[in-house]
Chains A and B, each alone.
Chain A
Amino acid sequence: MFENAKFNSTQGSRNKHQLRFMGLTTCSFCKKAKQFLDDNDFSYDYLYLDKIDPEDKKNLKIEFAAHFDKRLSYPTLIIDDKEILTGFIRIAWEKELLEEE
């Protein structure tokens, strides 16, 4: 999935799952969500959609919509290419990402 997208990577001690964060640089809940991943020391890939080539963005959104049957909104976290967290709601992110440990 997203083979052509150029994600950046952050390394952390929590690395059991492949996490892919997608956001906008201008969006405040995106900042909070990314901060959550940093504060909890997750390894993750991230991409800011407002900073990539428009054609790449278009293709990525089409691929996302085809895979998850919904429009990409921000922030979105993709877990192991299977599940997604849409929007940043701290308790939902804690439940999904921290509780199983």
Chain B
Amino acid sequence: MGRKTREDVQLFLEAVSKKQGLILNNDKDHVDSIADGLMEMYNSLGYFNCPCREAWGDRKKDRDIICPCSYCEMDVQEYGQCYCGLFVSEDSQDKELGSIPDRRDDELYP
């Protein structure tokens, strides 16, 4: 397992948003802080676990919260942002974002 740098994470985010048609938040500080969290997740677990959620550290159990998580698209549609506020809808681009309810079932958490 190689380590990821911040540049690697940035490239990952750009590739993912392009491939999946997701829009990255305009708020650079917010995105930078999530990118730091993603890098830390990758370098400790070996995958990009959602940095806003607790991980089991087992890729199978965490698979639905590997970024972009399984709830991302629905959350962007319903709330205009993903759980972390990393990906947003066009309408939410310039709003100050806050936490949204977690769509993931409680029982899936450690």
Contacts and interface: CB of A to CB of B under 8 A. Distances in A.
By secondary structure, the B interface counts as loop
Contact of B51 (A27, A71, A87): A27
A71 B105 CA distance: 10
A89 B98 contact: yes
A88 interface: yes
A4 interface: no
Given A31-B33, A50-B54, A26 B99 contact: no
Nearest to B36: A26
Given A28-B85, A29-B85, A71-B109, A90 B98 contact: yes
What is the interface residue range for chain B against chain A? 20 to 34
B58 interface: no
Contact of B84 (A27, A73, A86): A27
A98 to B, nearest CB: 16
A24 B52 contact: yes
Interface of B: 30, 33-34, 36-38, 40-41, 51-54, 84-86, 96, 98-102, 106, 109
